[in-house]
Each structure stands twice: as C-alpha cells, then as structure tokens.
Amino acid sequence: MNRTAKEYRYPLRLPLEDEPQIAELVKKSGQSINSVLVLCIRKGLPLASQALCQAGGRVTTVDPLPESVLERVYAEKDELAGITAEQLTRFQSQTEPE
C-alpha cells in the first residue's frame, strides 16, 4: 500500500537574486526545484520561528525608562487636560475627512 503525502499548494514568488543559488543547488543535488524549496522551508522554519516569535515582550534593545522618569512625565498636565470628552468628539467629527 503506497500512501502519498497530501500536498499543500501555495504560489511562491522568490526574489530574482536567489535564482542563481537555487539553480546551482538543483544542479549539484540532482533534485527538483520543488524538492530543494521544500527542504529549504523545512530546514529554515525553526530559524524563522525563532527570529519572528522571540520569547519576551521586548521589541527593542533600548533600556526602558526608570519609574521615576515615567511618573514625572505622566504626572504633567498636557494640552488636552482641560478638554471634555464631548468637546474632543465634536472637534474630531469636524476634522475627519468626508
């Protein structure tokens, strides 16, 4: 009994600068372009997952501001402190594009 894997079809657009490397690998390995691309994806998925889904909530390498600075910044009144929600809504509805 011969079972074939179910196929997952996806149109793939690759940058032209990758074509020579892919063609060379296809020629050296004797495999089809499809086999080479499937293997590249399988081998590269762990690296892609690691790069794109890094653990931790930090998006930047810049150190966070100290608590004292944050408290001082957020304690200051801004120009919207004296405006009511109704005034703000009225202003926004006047300035939104049609």
Confidence at 4, pLDDT banded by 50, 70, 90 = low
Length of the chain: 98
Give the residue numbers spanning the domain of 21: 16-52
* Residue 35 maps to a domain: yes
Nearest one of 79, 76, 77, 80 to 89, comparing CA atoms: 80
Backbone angles phi, psi at 33, to 5 degrees: -60, -40
- Token pair recorded at residue 24: 């060379």
* Residue 21 maps to a domain: yes
Alpha-carbon separation of residue 2 from 5, 6, 22 (angstroms): 10, 13, 30
The total domain count for the chain is: 1
pLDDT given at position 77 = 79
* Residue 84 maps to a domain: no
Has this prediction a pTM greater than 0.85?
no
pLDDT given at position 95 = 67
CA–CA dist 63, 45 (Å, integer): 30
Q: Is the per-residue pLDDT at 89 higher than 90?
A: no
* Residue 76 maps to a domain: no
